[in-house]
Structure 1
Amino acid sequence: MDAFVARSLDEIRFWSRIMKEHALFLGLGFRAEDTQLKSEANRFYTIFENIERRSHEYQLDADPNTIKDFNTEVRVAATNIWAFKRMVLGLILQCKLPGGTNFPLLVDHVSREANYFRNRLDELNSGTLEPLPDAIIDENIFFLKIMADHAKFIGHLLDPSERKLVDQAREFSNDFDTLMFQAADLSSMRPQSQTVPLLSQFVDENRVSVKSLRDFKKTARDLIEECRIKSIIHPLLADHVFREAERFLYILDMFDQSLSGIKVNKREILHS
């Protein structure tokens, strides 16, 4: 099995579905009169639905050159939806879409994920993935912000009468804001901060919080699907944010395994 092929297909299968759903959510948030924006969102939904379907047609023994071309094609689509999202953000911040239901932070949030996706495809095709110590810090900074945003969105989309759940969402928001600041501090101390003990503690602490948030999202998703709580959260959005928490946990587990292997070998990680 070619590691490049496996990694590429994994990234595309996960993120193309996310991009497809972003297009759906943005479309739902536009006003009835925003027909051109709705049409563009629908177009992106179709593009990424097709990419997602094709990604599952490739096998892990596919020709790496074929997958490299596929990555390039998908990167173009990711760049285009990123540009669309930034354009929409500009319209909202200039008060040109009054009455829509897309929060500015949500549009910024989904644009950051599109940018992350296209950068990952660039890294894969160029063979320039970050060294482990940098990847641990940078991936955590990215995903901790995503998780903090999710908590804020959940808190704002739950009905105000769901006071206990709203309070829980606010607590998660504060927790992940704090973790994000800690990650930024660790980042600014690079490369001296990139020792195995510090990075291991960093990963372990974040994983505890992500597991708690993941479980909260799962409960919220199930309650929403069963119509047992009051909210304006689309059931697919509830599942969407749950999957992203699962993705972050998967990445943290990979980092932990890598660090454990290095600890066994009694080596320090240093910035190269």
Structure 2
Amino acid sequence: MRMPDAFVIRSIDEIRFWSRIMKEHSLFLRLGFRCEDTQLINEANYFYKLFEGIEQRSHAFGVNTDPTTIQKFNIEVHTAASHIWAFKRKILGLILTCQLPGQNNFPLLVDHTSREANYFRNRLEELNQGKLEPLQDAIIDENVFFLKIMADHAKFIGHLLDPSERKLVDQAREFSHDFDQLLFQAQDLDSMRPQSQTQPLLNQFLDQNKVSVKSLRDFKETARDLINQCKIKSIIHPLLADHVFREAERFLEIIDMFEAALTGVGKRANLTH
């Protein structure tokens, strides 16, 4: 029996996770449009169905699927991710030029979703080209990306909770501040490359981030459960609450894999998260 191909495993994992995220972005954006924005609504519906189909098809592939088949699938999904990225940037441009007055999508949220689409398509391109970053570079870059995502989430939660939920709003603001600071630290580490890429510094970097991400993950989980039980006053869609929780879980999984890789590092190695 042929051994599972790491390229196949990683590609399927990325597509299963991020195609669901892209599908849900399409729904959230659509819910924020005005009734008269029929063209944008139709485009959002198109992307919802497109990524729903991609997600479903990804589950038909197994770890022993021929790598050539997965490579072709990656190219197809990369095209879809590029198109939804362009759609999101178009929406952002319309909002920032005041051409969609009264719609309910925060500009930062639209920018946030476009950054995730760009991350997704870049990862697929890296996988197909076999040009994955060395471990030390990947640790810094992935953390810079995800710390910004987590900081954004905290800001969105704070703004979408009802103002009367004072304690939860305060907690969200505290998380926003904490993750802004962690992001600044990560950006400082980034600017100090390669001197900052020693294993002790990276271990400390991951440990600190892991503690904070776990706290935010737990906060999101509690908020999600309370929203589902109708115990919180907010305009947060239940699916959005679960969406941001899953992204925090994803970040923790990546940190765990980085930590495992570092423990076995005696030389430069490519990350296989």
Range of TM-score over shorter length: over 0.9
- Residue of structure 1 equivalent to 2:179: 176
**1:151-189 CA-partner distances (Å, limit 9, x unpaired):** 000000000000000000000000000000000000000
- Residue of structure 2 equivalent to 1:76: 79
**1:108-140 CA-partner distances (Å, limit 9, x unpaired):** 000000000000000000000000000000000
State the alpha-carbon separation in 1 of the partners of residues 231 and 129 from structure 2: 48
**1:53-80 CA-partner distances (Å, limit 9, x unpaired):** 0000011100000000000000000000
1:58 aligned to 2:64? Answer: no
State the alpha-carbon separation in 2 of the partners of residues 132 and 191 from structure 1: 12
Select which of 117, 120, 124 maps to 1:117.
120
CA RMSD between the two structures: 1.1
- Residue of structure 1 equivalent to 2:104: 101
- Residue of structure 2 equivalent to 1:42: 45
**1:208-229 CA-partner distances (Å, limit 9, x unpaired):** 0000000000000000000001
| Number of corresponding residues | 267
- Residue of structure 2 equivalent to 1:143: 146
- What secondary structure does 1:228 align onto? coil
State the alpha-carbon separation in 1 of the partners of residues 70 and 152 from structure 2: 33
State the alpha-carbon separation in 1 of the partners of residues 27 and 207 from structure 2: 35
1:21 aligned to 2:19? Answer: no
2:205 counterpart letter in structure 1:
F
State the alpha-carbon separation in 2 of the partners of residues 107 and 65 from structure 1: 34
Query: TM-score when scaled to structure 1?
Result: 0.97
1:195/1:269 contact within 8 Å kept: no
1:23/1:44 contact within 8 Å kept: yes
Select which of 198, 203, 206 maps to 2:201.
198
1:207 counterpart letter in structure 2:
K
1:100 counterpart letter in structure 2:
Q
Query: TM-score when scaled to structure 2?
Result: 0.97
- Shift of residue 260, structure 1, vs aligned partner: 1.0
State the alpha-carbon separation in 1 of the partners of residues 24 and 227 from structure 2: 18
- Residue of structure 2 equivalent to 1:221: 224
State the alpha-carbon separation in 2 of the partners of residues 121 and 71 from structure 1: 6
- Residue of structure 1 equivalent to 2:130: 127
- What secondary structure does 1:238 align onto? helix
Select which of 8, 18, 38 maps to 1:5.
8
1:233 counterpart letter in structure 2:
I
- What secondary structure does 2:44 align onto? helix
- Shift of residue 269, structure 1, vs aligned partner: 5.3
Divergent runs of 4+, >6 A? none
Sort the Cα spacing of 1:212 and 1:76 in 2 relative to 1 into closer, same or farther, 3 A. same
1:68 counterpart letter in structure 2:
Q
1:245 aligned to 2:264? Answer: no
- Shift of residue 143, structure 1, vs aligned partner: 0.1
State the alpha-carbon separation in 2 of the partners of residues 260 and 166 from structure 1: 38
1:32 aligned to 2:39? Answer: no
Unaligned runs of 5+ in 2: none
1:260 aligned to 2:263? Answer: yes
- Shift of residue 261, structure 1, vs aligned partner: 1.2
1:155 aligned to 2:158? Answer: yes
1:126 counterpart letter in structure 2:
Q
- What secondary structure does 1:151 align onto? helix
Unaligned runs of 5+ in 1: none
